[in-house]
Amino acid sequence: MNISIILEHFYLVFMSVLFSVVVGLPLGVLAYLNQTLQKIVLWVVEILQTIPALALLGLIMIIFGAGKLTVIIGLVLYSLLPIVHNTFIGLENVDSGIKEAGKGMGLTKYDRLISVEIPLAFPMIFTGIRIATVTTIGVAVFATSVGGGGLGSIINQGIRTQNMELIIFGTLALMIMAIFFDMLMIWVNGRLVKRSSN
């Protein structure tokens, strides 16, 4: 039963980060390409982050009802900031000489983006995804409050029943998950950077 709760937690995190990338990456690119949208996009994702996680989940629950869908939508909104932000910054920071060279070789804006700028910005984007993942592992403890399960349920139960063992089990599982993904993604990023600098 404990394993299944860990897996449930992992499932919530995985789905959230996945959709967050699907939504956040294009938003970051949009912010990079369009000056007007840039301010709006960056402002909205920052505002989203100022709403307390629990409140955000509660609000979404009203529309979508209690359950995993609500949790995933909430976590996606919550983890947009690092992904959008890093995508935008990563693209902005691509060496202007390289951008110029792409232009000079007659690549279209779209072509430059796909074949030069996004690949070069990718380590930065990936760092955003890493931050989102680690944060989401922690924030997902609120899932249980809106019927989404996960490790938060064990911790809440532990606090309610004053059961230290349960609290520690839940916390350790969370910490290990967070550290594991953090280190794994740092390692992957190291490989990415190494490959692209060759």
Q: Which residues bind another protein (CB under 8 A)?
A: 47, 49-59, 61-62, 101, 105, 134, 137-139, 141-142, 145-146, 152, 155-156, 158-159, 162, 164, 167, 170-171, 174-175, 178-179, 182
* CB 29 to another protein: min, Å: 25
Helix 68-92 to helix 53-64 angle, to the nearest 10 degrees?
120
* CB 188 to another protein: min, Å: 18
Q: In this complex, which beta carbon is closest to another protein, that of residue 27 or of residue 141?
A: 141
* CB 164 to another protein: min, Å: 7
* CB 191 to another protein: min, Å: 20
Q: In this complex, which beta carbon is closest to another protein, that of residue 28 or of residue 152?
A: 152
* Cα(45)–Cα(4) distance, integer angstroms: 32
Structure tokens at 82: 């690092």
* CB 9 to another protein: min, Å: 11
* Cα(182)–Cα(9) distance, integer angstroms: 16
Q: In this complex, which beta carbon is closest to another protein, that of residue 11 or of residue 30?
A: 11
Q: In this complex, which beta carbon is closest to another protein, that of residue 54 or of residue 188?
A: 54
What Å distances lie between residue 35 and 32, 40, 57, 154, CA to CA? Answer: 7, 9, 31, 46
The DSSP result for 65-133, as a single string, is -SSHHHHHHHHHHHHHHHHHHHHHHHHHTS-HHHHHHHHHTT--HHHHIIIIIHHHHHHHHHHHHHHHH
Q: In this complex, which beta carbon is closest to another protein, that of residue 33 or of residue 51?
A: 51
